[in-house]
Amino acid sequence: MTATKRNSSVELLRILLMVFIVIHHIISSVVAPNFSNRIYACVDVFLHTAVIVFILITGYFGLRFSRRKALLLFFQVLFYSALLGCIAYFCFDIGTRIELVKSFLPVSSNAYWFITVYFQLFFLAPFITKMFEQLTDRQYLQLLIVLFVLVCWFGFLWKDSVTVDGKNIVNFIFIYLLGNGIKRVERNKPSYFLFSRKWSLLIISFLVLCLVGFYFLPDRHNLFIHAIVFSYKYNSPFLILLSIALFNVFRTFSFDSRFINYMATSSLSIYLIHEHPLMREIIYVRPFNKLMLVESGFSLFLIIVGYVLVLSFCCMGGDKIRQYVFEKISNRSDR
């Protein structure tokens, strides 16, 4: 798709998803690990939709494999992983030599679990998409049901090793199929009520009310923890349904903004920079460990949001410089 054809609402959603991920990591790693704070735990469930929505967007628009795209993505990941690994090791004395070497092998070493699984999906996508296109609507629905059983029944409920937490290619294929299915329904039945904005807002409202209800669950038998875990994992039916509804709200809005479209192409840099295995200690773990000694409650949350917004803007701004340099190198290489 060209930039003029992009729906800026979806592009804005891409940026928001990265903001969600950063706030989620600060909450789950520093502020309230292991769901130690009920309010933060409920908020974190909503933020945890980010990865699923991102794959839904990928499935909706489809992945078209090309060697050039694969190399550009790989070198973007390698650039940030190697650069930040060197900065952490040589400037801040963080990490071991083995961890430094792993920074130069970001995909193979699973330095970023999402990137590793996304590359697997990227290489499989052309074959998956071709198979989808040949299926009838009935066969498509049957495949969805089969994958739902594998992901949610065996994986989520019975903790099967194939997809125990949803951070794997099996779940990504299922989510990709759901996103592709939304596009398929939109093409064949554009007024289908289940994917309408009103219906999606109702689903979001109901599920958010469920999260509010979780907050008031009694402590006995760890009911609150069980409820949060049920709604938190990437292969949870609760989280998948919430993610689909959130995606549909943004999908059904439409506006055009060159600035948002332009910035959205650098949104992945937010993830690659803040969640580097070594630099995350400098970027947000140590700062917020110190901040929690003097701040708490709602003011702490506002500081988190403000910090993440500034960090995200700086990451995207810096990535524009990287894009400019990479384009120059790519053009010379093409010649």
pLDDT per residue as tens digits for the range 12-39? 999 999 999 999 999 999 999 999 999 9
User: How far apart (Å, rounded) are the C-alpha atoms in residues 61 and 28?
Assistant: 31
User: How far apart (Å, rounded) are the C-alpha atoms in residues 77 and 276?
Assistant: 10
Residue of 18, 12, 20, 70 lying closest to 46 (CA atoms): 20
* Crossing angle for the helix pair 169-188 and 137-148, to the nearest 10 degrees: 150
What is the token pair recorded at 165?
């937490």
Residue with tokens 């140590």: 286
Contact 65, 126 (CB under 8 A): yes
Lowest mean pLDDT, pick from 136-140, 194-198, 229-233: 194-198
* Other Cβ atoms closer than 10 A to 282: 16
- The answer, yes or no, to whether residue 1 has pLDDT greater than 60, is no
Residue of 202, 268, 245, 242 lying closest to 11 (CA atoms): 268
DSSP letter string over 138-201? HHHHHHHHHHHIIIIIIIIIT--TTSSSS-SHHHHHHHHHHHHHHHHHHHH-TT-GGGSHHHHH
pLDDT per residue as tens digits for the range 45-99? 999 999 999 999 999 998 888 888 898 899 999 999 999 999 999 999 999 999 9
User: How far apart (Å, rounded) are the C-alpha atoms in residues 44 and 154?
Assistant: 25
Give 3's pLDDT tier (boundaries 50, 70, 90).
very low
Q: Give the mean pLDDT of the chain.
A: 91
- The answer, yes or no, to whether residue 4 has pLDDT greater than 60, is no
Share of the chain above pLDDT 90, in %: 75
User: How far apart (Å, rounded) are the C-alpha atoms in residues 167 and 151?
Assistant: 11
Mean pLDDT of 133-145: 91
